[in-house]
Structure formats: C-alpha cells, structure tokens
Amino acid sequence: MKYLNDTTPAAELPSTSSQQGTSSLRAGSDFRSEQRRLLASFSCDSDLLKFNQLKFRKKRIRFSRSHIHEWGLFAMEPIAADEMVIEYVGQIIRQVVADMREQRYEEQGIGSSYLFRVDQETIIDATKWGNLSRFINHSCSPNCYAKIISVESQKKIVIYSRQPISINEEVTYDYKFPIEETKIPCLCGAESCRGSLN
Ligand SMILES: C[S@@+](CC[C@H](N)C(=O)[O-])C[C@H]1O[C@@H](n2cnc3c(N)ncnc32)[C@H](O)[C@@H]1O
Ligand SMILES: [Zn+2]
C-alpha cells in the first residue's frame, strides 16, 4: 500500500534517565519534566500560531507542468525556511475505506496516489477533493517536509519548508512510501535520488 507519509521524528528532548531512582535526583527529574512540558507546549503554540497565520496569509503558489511528474506545485513568492506552505486537504477516511478506494482507483486507472496517512486508522484522500497540495511531487532531496500537527484536537497534515524556496521553484517533499517489491521509479532528478519512490 503506497500512502504518502509524515514520519517527521518527534522533537528530541532531553531524556529523564530511568536509572535515577533516588529521591535526591527527584528535583532534577521534576525540573526536566517541567522543561519537557514547556517545550512541548511552545512547539504546539508555535504550530497553532503558524496555522492561524496560514489561514489568513496563504502562500502564493501555482500548479503547473513539472519535470518530475505531470503536474507539480510551484512557489510564486520566496518562501523562507521553516514556514508552513500549505495544508494537505482532502476527505478524511478510515483505513477500510482507504483500502477499498485504493483498489477502485487502480481499477479506474488512477495511477497517482493521493492518499496520505495521518495515523494507523486515518487517511486523507485528495484524489477527488482537495486543494493545490495534491500536486506536490516527491523528491529524494526535497525542499519541504510533511508534518502532522494537532489543531483543536484535530490532526492536520501541513507541508513545511525545510530551506528557503525561490520564486518558480517546484515544491517537493519526501513521500516516505514504505518499501515494496514492485518499484515505482523515481523521476525526481536529484543527485541523491534513491531510484524509486518505494
Ligand atoms: C500526489 S500525486 C502528485 C501530483 C501528480 N504529479 C499529478 O500530476 O497529479 C502523487 C503521484 O505523482 C507521481 N509522482 C510524484 N513524484 C514522483 C517522482 N519523483 N517520480 C515519479 N512519479 C512521481 C506518482 O505517480 C505519485 O503516486
Ligand atoms: Zn528520487
């Protein structure tokens, strides 16, 4: 099953050692827990803030023919690193429905995959209903990455820039398809291209 994936590693925070069993170390451990809680809340707040900004100040982007694959998404304004570029929008469906749809799409000859896994049970399907994010192609050396964030306890997939993006540059991220026997050749053209999407 080839679903687009997030899998951005969770922020690496200082770990509280399980070997710290004595009460004299409790204060240090409590301090680190508090630090961790604060760091987590800062990161959520900044995601929420950026997400609200994204709603009101959308990035100027367009879809157009791509050298990678059919249609792609392109920046119409410079985008700084670590910016929210666009939300991956589509129909939120469960795994069983995604499995049925995947088979149906294959039968209908829809070769491109617009199914993006949010978690074990939830998939976002942008095949027939979505926004411009559905045109983002894969690159083995991408300028963006996908991240799942929670906004008011609803999970959202957001595409972030990982480096500055110039006007007219194609926006890409790494699909992180699971490895399969039947390979989908990758046409990203990057020097570090892995040769296949999966
Ligand atoms: C979400 S769509 C991307 C938009 C697509 N180019 C279009 O015109 O609709 C994902 C599909 O695009 C194709 N694709 C994206 N990146 C590719 C790449 N680097 N090499 C080959 N095919 C790619 C694959 O068929 C993939 O399943
Ligand atoms: Zn590649």
Q: Residue 133's domain spans which residues?
A: 23-173
Q: What whole-number percentage of the chain has pLDDT above 70?
A: 79
Pocket test for ligand 1, best of 71, 137, 140 (most atoms within 8 A of CB): 137
The number of distinct structural domains making up the chain is 1
Residue 164 included in any domain:
yes
- The Cα 28–Cα 44 span in angstroms is 24
- The domain that holds 157 is classified in CATH as 2.170.270.10
- Give me the pLDDT at residue 104, please: 95
- Give me the pLDDT at residue 52, please: 75
What residue's CA is closest to ligand 1, atom 25? 112
Q: Which residue has the higher pLDDT, 20 or 196?
A: 196
What separation in Å is there between the alpha carbon of 187 and the centre of ligand 1? 9
- Give me the pLDDT at residue 159, please: 96
Residue 146's DSSP bridge partners are 159
**Taking CB atoms and a 6 Å cutoff, what residues make up the pocket around ligand 1?**
68-72, 111-114, 134-135, 137-138, 186-188, 197
What residue's CA is closest to ligand 1, atom 26? 112
Residue 139 included in any domain:
yes
Report CA 194 to chain centroid distance, whole Å.
19
Provide mean pLDDT across the span 4-29.
46
What's the order of all strands across the beta sheet hosting 144-151?
84-88, 154-161, 144-151
pLDDT digits (tens, 9 = 90+) for 67-86: 999 999 999 999 999 999 99
Ligand 1 atom closest to the CA of 172, numbered from 1 = 16
Residue 18 included in any domain:
no
Neighbouring C-beta atoms of residue 37, cutoff 10 Å: 11
pLDDT bin (cut points 50, 70, 90) of residue 118 is very high
Ligand approaching nearest to the C-alpha of 177: 1
Ligand 1 atom closest to the CA of 134, numbered from 1 = 1
**C-beta of residue 178 within 8 angstroms of C-beta of residue 197:** no
Does position 196 have pLDDT exceeding 90, yes or no?
Answer: yes
The Cα-based distances of 153 to 2, 44, 148, 189, 190 in angstroms read 27, 11, 12, 38, 37
Long-range contacts, stretch 31-39, CB < 8 angstroms, 24+ apart:
39/11, 39/13
Residue 135 included in any domain:
yes
**C-beta of residue 93 within 8 angstroms of C-beta of residue 103:** no
Residue 79 included in any domain:
yes
Ligand 1 atom closest to the CA of 135, numbered from 1 = 4
Residue 109 included in any domain:
yes
Alpha carbon distance, N-terminus to C-terminus of the chain:
10
Residue 103 included in any domain:
yes
- Give me the pLDDT at residue 24, please: 42
Name, of 28-42, 48-62, 154-168, the range with top average pLDDT: 154-168
Residue 64 included in any domain:
yes
